[in-house]
Structure 1
Amino acid sequence: MFAFLRLVLLLLIILTLIYGGVSLYSRERRRAKLKQHWAVKGLTGDRQSFIQRGLKQYDHSLRRRLILLVYILPLSAIALVIYVVNFS
């Protein structure tokens, strides 16, 4: 049982690092797209405010929530394998 808990703790640490990396990468991609949109459209006004509004919308988007699948999919797969091995 102790080995299983150690495995789960290690897995959660690794998944947290992956989640952080994917989340930061996705946010920076969104920021770059907003900057590009600003430049292509030739918008006027406060560019930083435009980017902050776009990132605020991104924080509430479906794409941001889908990154949580980094946790859900591997843990669900492990739970499924444990169930199949023990109860089939």
Structure 2
Amino acid sequence: MGLGAVMLGFFRLFFFLMIGLTVVYGAVSLYSREMRRAKLKRRWAEKGLTGDRAAFIQRGLRRYDHSFRRRLILLVYVVPLGLIATLIYMVNFR
């Protein structure tokens, strides 16, 4: 098996892995955003706030979009790729 065939196999694996991780990232991201929206709706009802409920929820979601918690979801990409890189290193250089 030549180097070209090995590289083609690697790129194919990487391509499908990235597609799978992107699907997982999208699902986790949507789930997290919906949980935040539900929490904001509960907070509105519990505190008995008055005014524009939709604006309150939009402000809360805008804050969430820039939060550290939202950025933590990127670990969906970092952790598997880091584990694969570590595994490749250990197999080849130890």
Taking structure 1 as the reference length, what is the TM-score of the superposition? 0.99
Is 1:2 matched up with 2:14?
no
Q: Secondary structure at the match of 1:43?
A: coil
Q: Which runs of 5+ in 2 are unaligned?
A: 1-6
1:1-88 counterparts in 2 under 5 A?
1-88=7-94
Identity %: 68
Query: Structure 2 CA distance, aligned partners of 1:19 and 1:84?
Result: 27
- Alignment match, 2:3: none
Q: Which runs of 5+ in 1 are unaligned?
A: none
Aligned residues: 88
Query: Structure 1 CA distance, aligned partners of 2:85 and 2:11?
Result: 13
- Ranked by relative contact order (alpha carbons within 8 Å, sequence separation 6 or more), the top structure is 1
Question: Per-residue displacement from partner, 1:39-79 (whole Å, max 9, x unpaired)?
Answer: 00000000000000000000011110000000000000000
Which amino acid in the other structure matches residue 80 of structure 1? T
Query: Structure 1 CA distance, aligned partners of 2:30 and 2:9?
Result: 32
